[in-house]
Amino acid sequence: MSSKILPWVQVVAGFFLMFNSWGLINAFGVFQEYYTSFSPPLSTPSSISWIGSLQTFLLLIFGSATGSFVDRGHARFLALTGCGLLTLGLLFTSFSGEFTNYNSKSNKGSADARPVYYQVLLSHGVLSGLGMGLLLVPSTAIVPTYFSHNRAFAVGLANTGASIGGLTYPILARRLIADVGFSWALRATALVVLVTTAIGALLIVQRSELTKNPSKRTLYELQCLREPAYALFIAGVFFAFAGLYIPYFYISTWVRDTHFPMHGLNHYYLLSILNAGGLVGRIVPPFIADKVVSGPILMQALTAILCGALAAGWTYIRTSFAGIMVWLVAYGLVSGSVISLIPASAAALTPDMKRLGGRIGVLFAANAVASLIGNPVAGAILKNTTSAWKGLAGYYETAAAKVGTGRPL
């Protein structure tokens, strides 16, 4: 394959892996809303958010442990294994629970499953999260090794898979749930995941000169913690993941619970609009970052500040339909930029590209802990605070405002 084409093939591979890892995380809000729609509900909002939080935690912590394996040249094997686990997780979720007639739009006599919480937690949360974790480092650590110029832009293009997945999966899931029920909606989603992830995995080609001397690689490149710049970078991004995904998990539930005037627009489209803004955020800011000195890091700091500012306004948009539309696009743009610039920023702080996978692994391990904290805490605030959604906004504003600072809450 031409040396000019191969780098862009890796961008395509990264796109498909992102589409089915972070893309599904970005779309979890539609499942959060579905799982809380039963009467009685499957569990509390905080408990249900553990499903998505476990996905994110396992994606990051399991992904962090695979960084050194990617450095040794095993990215394709990891991606194919992740493809299988993720597909099985969705299929097992589709068989969860005893049959009840949930599909209120149809009286055709076909029954749909009322999911059982612990089964969904294990299949949709744990097994799917493990599969996503095996996709993570192959989707983020290979593309930067093929580019010296336009690195942030190339990584941003691969990262658009997360936004397009987050845009596509909510619409696909809700339409299929309404038409054929939850079980078959999950099975159809599993088929899409299987095909697109397998394509991405088979397209992976690692640079052979960067996978030599495997005996010298360690599971985690912990020496990066001795570098002040990289350690502060890890601390800053830690706080990003403590709050950044709260709107992605709760926006649909917020609209439903507050009876926000939607003027005929189905509320599950809000998640897709949020991810559409993220699509722009994963392309334009990284492109600008490549044209600025210390571009990725500086751009990430700027967009993180904007995240904190926008966080203050989310739940205070009480009745303005136009206002929430503008907020969704703006927040999607800046949050997508913060996330997509992480690999490029890590690469900018890494002198030896042979060790990039292990260093990204350390970064993801720290972020995994943050992701396990943020969304369940937000759910607990919703349950125990009198002005619940305002309390949630206050927590999120505090967390997001610390992105990039490395300071405690």
- pLDDT digits (tens), the chain, 409 positions: 667 889 999 999 999 999 999 999 988 888 888 888 877 777 877 788 889 889 989 988 887 788 778 878 889 999 999 999 999 999 999 988 754 444 444 434 344 667 888 899 999 999 999 999 999 888 888 888 888 777 878 888 898 998 899 889 999 998 998 899 889 999 999 999 999 999 999 999 988 776 666 545 566 677 888 899 999 999 888 888 788 888 888 887 778 777 778 877 777 788 889 989 988 988 888 888 877 756 788 888 888 888 878 877 776 777 788 888 899 999 999 988 888 888 888 888 888 877 777 787 788 888 888 888 877 777 777 665 545 545 455 545 555 444 444 433 3
pLDDT for 1 = 60
pLDDT for 107 = 39
Enumerate the domain spans of the chain: 6-208+219-401
* Closest CA relative to residue 362, chosen from 228, 215, 218: 218
The answer to whether domain 6-208+219-401 has CATH 3.40.190.10 is: no
pLDDT for 108 = 42
Give the contacts of 51 (CB within 8 A, at least 6 positions apart): 28, 31, 32, 35, 120, 121, 124, 125
The two tokens of residue 37 are 């729609």
* CA–CA gap between residue 63 and residue 137 (Å, rounded): 6
Give me the amino acid identity at 1.
Answer: M
Q: What angle do CA 344, 349, 351 make, to 5 degrees?
A: 110
H helix or E strand, kind and range, residue 46 = helix 45-65
**What DSSP state is assigned to residue 59?**
H
Q: What angle do CA 140, 142, 146 make, to 5 degrees?
A: 125
Reduced to 3 states (helix: H, G, I; strand: E, B; else coil), residue 235 is helix
Give the contacts of 394 (CB within 8 A, at least 6 positions apart): none
pLDDT for 186 = 93
* Closest CA relative to residue 244, chosen from 291, 307, 295: 307
Give yes or no for a contact between 266 and 174, defined as CB atoms under 8 angstroms apart.
Answer: yes
